[in-house]
A and B are shown apart, each in its own frame.
Chain A
């Protein structure tokens, strides 16, 4: 199976700050990568697919990039409603998820 390693596991940032979350695949996944946001007590919501395509309705402050084995999620101008845990997921082989990054406000 393809292992997905996310970093950091947690981070604290201030309102208006830019945040980056990284995801490293154990092998080339050819941009078959999605990002999900899970707010406390809620189910995950799709943010990004194909590494950099924004899902309909997702604010443009969210963006994805990367290729090969290295991918990142960027949140510009952090808002209070962005407090959540973020997961990456590869779908080049049977789906596997990263361990998650818990984002809190400083």
Chain B
């Protein structure tokens, strides 16, 4: 059974860097075809894909946020990470990580981590 759980700071100040961790079980990010994606959702609004990282270390980011995003992984500890630089209030959202199949279908999601950007 695949499970994922996000963790983060909860609240942070504008211009700071948001760091999120996705801890997962039931699969390995070293197995061919496996991936983890990050998606966010402002309260009451829609979903926005942010970035994905794959078993082979390849990453790709949403072009609208590309320069602000960094994704990485720690395969031995079954974790994936997302960093978002220079946050502002528009980055306030629930951030999800999701197990992703090689064709970008997200078949298992974490419970989400709420992030508020406020001074």
Q: Spell out A's residues near B (CB within 8 Å).
A: 1, 32, 34, 36, 43-46, 49, 55, 87, 89, 91, 94-100
| B104 contacts across to A, CB distance below 8 A | 32, 91, 94-95
| A1 contacts across to B, CB distance below 8 A | 63-64
- How many interface contacts (CB-CB < 8 Å) are there between A and B? 51
Interface of B is mostly: loop
Q: Which residue of B lies closest to A100 (CB)?
A: B46
What are 18 A-B interface contacts by the 8 Å CB criterion? A32-B103, A32-B104, A43-B109, A44-B106, A45-B109, A46-B106, A46-B107, A49-B103, A55-B107, A87-B46, A87-B47, A89-B106, A94-B49, A94-B63, A95-B49, A95-B104, A97-B47, A99-B46
| B105 contacts chain A at the CB level, 8 A cutoff | yes
| B62 contacts chain A at the CB level, 8 A cutoff | yes
Question: Separation in Å of the A84 CB from the closest CB of chain B?
Answer: 13
